[in-house]
Structure 1
Amino acid sequence: MAGERFASIWDAISDTPEEAANMRLRSKLMASLAERVKGWEVSQAEAGRRLGLTQPRVNDLLKGKIDKFSLDALVNASARAHFRIEFILEEEDDAAMA
């Protein structure tokens, strides 16, 4: 593995490409949600009310505990935070599958 390059940290630490893709999406959603919550300048309890999460879950979100959140939970919270999520699916350069 010495000298091997990865597209993202998730590619480097994940066991499979599928897991890395899931982690990339979750990390982007978490970062956007954390930024939104901080911008609200409200208590974690109020942020939780807005997002449909408990205060401890908001705390986990703000601390970046990615393992605590499924992709579904983050999509749902993002919708409640009034984010519009667009999905772009692109073929990888080396993925010419027959």
Structure 2
Amino acid sequence: MTQNLFAMVTEDPIESNIKHLKMNLFMMLTQRIRQNGWTQVVAAKELKITQPRMSNLFKGKLEKFSIDALLEMVVRSGYDFDVDVDSTNKASPLSFQLKKRKK
């Protein structure tokens, strides 16, 4: 069984992968915001977005966010983004990790 639930509701692999990535970034962000004890107002300030935009995030309106915007918020929340490209690896040519930034 696939870990990408969106693959079960759409036959378009691009759409399912984008939705899957957005959902994972959303879950990471909201978890990080809760761990920090941030209100929506504080989170918006820390992540440099408006409070209405933060409200959209908390309501799960992921169609209003690009992957770029979500990644930027993840980095602003205290993570570093590490990307590795290996064109010789046909099974997994691209991999990335999010690592908590050291203070």
TM-score in terms of structure 1 length: 0.74
Aligned to 1:68: 64
Q: Which runs of 5+ in 2 are unaligned?
A: 93-103
| Shift, 1:34, TM fit | 0.3
Percentage of pairs with the same residue: 27
- Residue correspondences, number: 88
Off by >6 Å, runs of 4+ in structure 1: none
Q: Which runs of 5+ in 1 are unaligned?
A: 93-98
| Shift, 1:43, TM fit | 2.1
| Shift, 1:91, TM fit | 2.7
Name whichever structure is richer in strand by fraction.
2
CA gap of 1:84–1:11, structure 2 versus 1, over 3 A, is same
Max Rg structure = 1
Query: Which protein, 1 or 2, shows the higher relative CO under an 8 Å CA cutoff with sep ≥ 6?
Result: 1
Matched, 1:12 2:11: no
Aligned to 1:91: 91
TM-score in terms of structure 2 length: 0.71
